């Protein structure tokens, strides 16, 4: 009897723990997949791998990045929606996803129904670049050329609904131009073709295009934030260079299938927040033109819902459509 009482006394603290606490302590007990629904080489892929490496170090299990591009992020996103809600399959997402809620209404999932927000990662401004063969020197001259030759100029994007696509449609709407959208299956293909002169213009994330600007491979006509980028300080903002009020960014975050245990979501949120707020990471990202984003899961939920409303209005005003 004494042995039984002693065993019960030792077990009592464990019994007092909630299932949520137990699941949080045990997670992760096997490798975690981060599905990136975009092609390799773009910001989502780059930062997913960056984050995965650091989470592997801090959480003791591999965080493996898997690229599943296609259909404007729908293919990879659907795969995550159909995965078990156990925290072992995560979605690396962006404002492509909030845009697609209105741009592609007939999808096999709904973002805020089929997923739970985990944590934002970072955001960065875009840079509007042209191939050096385009005979202009600044944004105003480019607008004049585009207006004089409607539908003769084109711009590349990484696919329908992506920040690069919507930045171009918003520019058309606000600048009064008709620049033709040329969608690619990923940002790498679009980037390669603007560098090669196959397309005239592109909006790209500063972290992935700044080096090409500095090397003179493309001309920067403007950046898309509310103030000049410290990474490309010589480039004016699009708003100051000719399109007042223009603003566009790209942000990244993580979601999980709906029903994922709250303890797991909270653990991931805490670990991701530690990574993105570390002084070394903040310094490294600042040099690239990226800023950390930190929110609780509930704050990120509210952020996503507001972003869905914002891009629904941009889709309406711009008349953007998926071909």
> Which pLDDT tens digit goes with each residue over 33-60?
999 999 999 999 999 999 999 999 999 9
- Structural domains counted in the chain: 2
Residue 85: DSSP 8-state:
S
Q: Buried (b) or exposed (e) across 227-254, using 16+ Cβ within 10 A? A: ebbebbeebbbbbebbbeebbbbbbbbb
- Which of 226, 249, 272 is where one domain is finished? 249
Count other Cβ atoms within 10 Å, centred on residue 284: 12
Q: What is the pLDDT of residues 254-264, one digit of tens each?
A: 999 999 999 99
* Per-residue model confidence (pLDDT) at position 15: 47
Q: How confident is the model at residue 160 (pLDDT cuts 50, 70, 90)?
A: confident
Domain membership of residue 142 as a residue range: 125-249
The backbone torsions φ and ψ at residue 115, rounded to the nearest 5 degrees and listed phi first, read -135, 160
pLDDT at 103 over 80: yes
Residue 237: DSSP 8-state:
B
197, part of any domain: yes
Q: What is the pLDDT of residues 187-201, one digit of tens each?
A: 999 999 999 999 999
133 and 198 in one domain? yes
**Residues whose CB is less than 8 angstroms from the CB of residue 33 and which lie 6 or more positions away in sequence, other chains included:** 63, 64, 65, 66, 88, 89, 90
Q: What is the pLDDT of residues 240-296, one digit of tens each?
A: 999 999 999 999 999 999 999 999 999 999 999 999 999 999 999 999 999 999 999
1, part of any domain: no
- Which of 249, 272, 305 is where one domain is finished? 249
As a whole number of angstroms, the longest Cα–Cα distance in the chain is: 94
258 and 118 in one domain? yes
244 and 202 in one domain? yes
What is the pLDDT of the chain when averaged over all its residues? 92
């Amino acid at each position: 009897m004494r042995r039984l009482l002693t065993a019960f006394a030792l077990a009592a603290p464990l019994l007092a723990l909630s299932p949520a606490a137990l699941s949080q302590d045990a997670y992760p007990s096997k490798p975690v997949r981060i599905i990136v629904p975009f092609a390799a080489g773009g910001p989502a892929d780059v930062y997913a791998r960056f984050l995965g490496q650091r989470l592997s170090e801090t959480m003791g299990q591999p965080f493996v990045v898997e690229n599943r591009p296609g259909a404007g992020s729908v293919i990879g996103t659907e795969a995550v929606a159909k995965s078990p809600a156990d925290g072992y399959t995560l979605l690396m997402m962006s404002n492509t996803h909030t845009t697609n809620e209105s741009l592609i209404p007939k999808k096999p999932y709904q973002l805020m129904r089929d997923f739970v927000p985990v944590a934002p990662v970072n955001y960065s401004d875009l840079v509007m670049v042209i191939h050096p063969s385009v005979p202009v020197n600044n944004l105003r001259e480019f607008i004049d050329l585009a207006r004089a030759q409607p539908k003769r100029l084109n711009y590349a994007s990484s696919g329908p609904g992506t920040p690069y696509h919507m930045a171009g449609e918003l520019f058309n709407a606000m600048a009064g131009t008709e620049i033709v959208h040329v969608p690619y299956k990923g940002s790498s293909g679009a980037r390669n073709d603007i560098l090669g002169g196959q397309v005239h213009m592109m909006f790209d994330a500063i972290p992935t295009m700044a080096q090409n600007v500095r090397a003179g491979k493309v001309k920067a006509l403007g950046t898309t934030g509310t103030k000049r980028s410290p990474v490309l300080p010589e480039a004016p903002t699009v708003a100051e260079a000719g399109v007042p009020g223009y603003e566009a960014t790209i942000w990244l975050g993580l979601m999980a299938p709906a029903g994922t245990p709250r303890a797991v979501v909270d653990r991931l949120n805490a670990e991701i927040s530690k990574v993105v707020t570390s002084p070394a990471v903040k310094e490294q990202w600042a040099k690239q033109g990226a800023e950390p984003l930190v929110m609780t899961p509930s704050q990120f939920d509210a952020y996503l819902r507001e972003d869905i409303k914002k891009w629904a209005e941009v889709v309406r005003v711009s008349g953007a459509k998926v071909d």
